[in-house]
Amino acid sequence: MRNEIYLDNSATTPVAEEVLQAMEPYWRIQYGNPSSPHLRGVAAENTLNSNRKQLARLLQAEPEHLYFTASGTEANNIAILGAASSPFFRRNPGHIITTPIEHPSVLRVIDHLKELGWSASYLKVDRYGHVDAQEVASLLQPTTRIVSVMLVNNELGTIAPVREIGRLIDAANRERQHKIVFHVDAVQALGHVPISIPDLKAHLVSFSGHKIFGPKGIGLLYANRQAQLRPIMFGGDQERGLRPGTENIPAVVGLTKAAQLVLDSLAENVQQLEELRQALIEGIKTIPNSRINSPLHGAPHLLNASFPGVRGEVLVHFLEQKRIFVSMGAACSSKKKGASHVLEAVGLDQEDILSAIRFSLAPTLTLDQIQYVVYSLKETVEEIRNIYI
């Protein structure tokens, strides 16, 4: 691993050393099941409760509104399907508003609801994935039950106006019998943009551990009482019946420690990321016939760019030989056939889509490394273009 430059941090991050140390005792020493009545179980339950409280302080939420899940994908599924399963909408298919650039763990859930008779409206997106919050108001219907918009897009880094959308939904709910539930996928936002649960004006917010130098296999769902969630999985009474299954205490501890680390250092990390991103942008601009697909003022850790004449897949593997790791987009979709649904939705032509790669940064990177990446990228793009001319 020495000398590699990892620029796929939006797919996953290495677990921070402090996170590993925090988790270690909970594998073999404090290994109890929180549901057990004996001392080992009580100790585990206390650990679970204390970590929930710490996360609540960090996110400015109430502890009873936080639920541990196995992933961000599961959190999104529980949020949307749980809201769709409220008593009235179990009998009457409803309406949902979203965007065409959401993560598959949102879009495919909505496709499933459409098979059950639900209808869906999609906000228009511009060239960089921006949406107009006011369009939400124009799309509302009497049967609208859910609005789901991701805070930071996972391919472009576009930041959505979720606070404005939340305020619009609050205003609309004052006059509605069947309340609208607002869900925000914040998986790519945590640790990269400021997040305060009250400020988001959302009823449901999803997070993931392995995007913030925490472990895989742990997610978090904020769900307040107005969401009126019903469980979509059944078993024991863990997580107050919403997410059954024995809680993953080591991962809960890891998620909490990771969240504390990234939120405590948010300001300095963002500054470092912005400097790295700007250097990368300036470097890519020196490459002939290259195009930046991300908005100028997007999330500081994400940058999508196209290099027409070079297939993204080929570029990824050429850079890999130089120990530079990038991706073509969302890791969950990278092995399936077909173009990026995000880049298609924002109107890129096929040449730009097929030649696009995503750089996702971390504050552990240096400007020297970014300069080396730019040098290698320029050299590699030229090499590949010469091969295929």
Domains along the sequence of the chain with CATH: 5-13+266-388 (3.90.1150.10), 17-263 (3.40.640.10)
pLDDT score of 335: 52
Whether 159 sits among the annotated catalytic residues: the reply is no
Nearest-angstrom CA–CA distance, 183 and 146: 7
| Amino acid 1: pLDDT | 43
Spatial separation of the C-alpha atoms in residues 3 and 372, rounded to whole Å: 11
Distance CA 193, CA 209 (A): 16
Sequence-distant (6+) residues with CB within 8 A of 308 are: 289, 291, 351, 352, 355
Looking from the CA of 146 toward its CB, the CA atoms found within 13 Å total: 36
pLDDT of residue 124: 98
Reported residue count of the chain is 389
Specify the pLDDT at position 87: 83
pLDDT the model gives residue 332: 52
Catalytic residue, from 332, 366, 375, 383: name it: 332
Tens-binned pLDDT, residue by residue, of the chain (389 aa)? 458 999 999 999 999 999 999 999 999 999 999 999 999 999 999 999 999 999 999 999 999 999 999 999 999 999 999 999 988 888 889 999 999 999 999 999 999 999 999 999 999 999 999 999 999 999 999 999 999 999 999 999 999 999 999 999 999 999 998 899 999 999 999 999 999 999 999 999 999 999 999 999 999 999 999 999 999 999 999 999 999 999 999 999 999 999 999 999 999 999 999 999 999 999 999 999 999 999 999 999 999 999 999 999 999 999 999 999 999 865 554 455 568 999 999 999 999 999 999 999 999 999 999 999 999 999 999 999 988 65
CA–centroid distance for 129 within its chain: 15
Query: What pLDDT does 388 receive?
Result: 67
- Residue 336: per-residue pLDDT: 54
pTM of the entire predicted model: 0.95
CA distance 32 to 34: 6
